[in-house]
Amino acid sequence: MPAASLTVLYFAWVKEKVGLGAEAVSPPASVATVSDLIDWLAGRSPGHAAAFADRKLIKAAVDQVHAPLSSKLGDAREVAFFPPVTGG
């Protein structure tokens, strides 16, 4: 079962498209994986939909650890979405 309340963070252009840096959400129990969460979040606003339009460009971290989109959410408390990193 996913956690009842989840903090979702957005960075770089994902943040700009969504229009938010962070939000607290309560996805339904059917949202079991990171990919499910993307599907669900994409329905929240046109900005969300635009940010997640091409998920090949999206990376995720679950509780601050890199996670493939197929990862189970389990009892995660924080999920972040961002483009591939470009530091260094």
Partner 1 sequence: MATIRVQREAFDPGAEINGFCTRNPTSGGIATFIGQMRDFRGESRNDGEVVTAMTLEHYPGMAESQLAELVKEASGRWPLDDALVIHRIGSLVPGEAIVLAAVAATHRGDAFAACAFLMDWLKTRAPFWKKEATETGACWVEAREADEDQAAKWKR
Quick one: which segment of 10-18, 28-36, 44-52, 68-76 binds partner 1 (CB under 8 A)? 10-18
User: What is the distance between the alpha carbons of residues 58 and 3, in angstroms, rounded to a whole number?
Assistant: 22
Q: Lay out the site mask for partner 1 across 14-53 (x = CB under 8 A, - = otherwise).
A: ----------------------------------------
Torsion of CA 75, 55, 57, 70, to 10 degrees: 40
Tell me which of 5, 26, 53, 66 binds partner 1, using CB under 8 A.
66
Assess 70 for contact with partner 1 (CB under 8 A).
no
User: What is the distance between the alpha carbons of residues 30 and 73, in angstroms, rounded to a whole number?
Assistant: 11
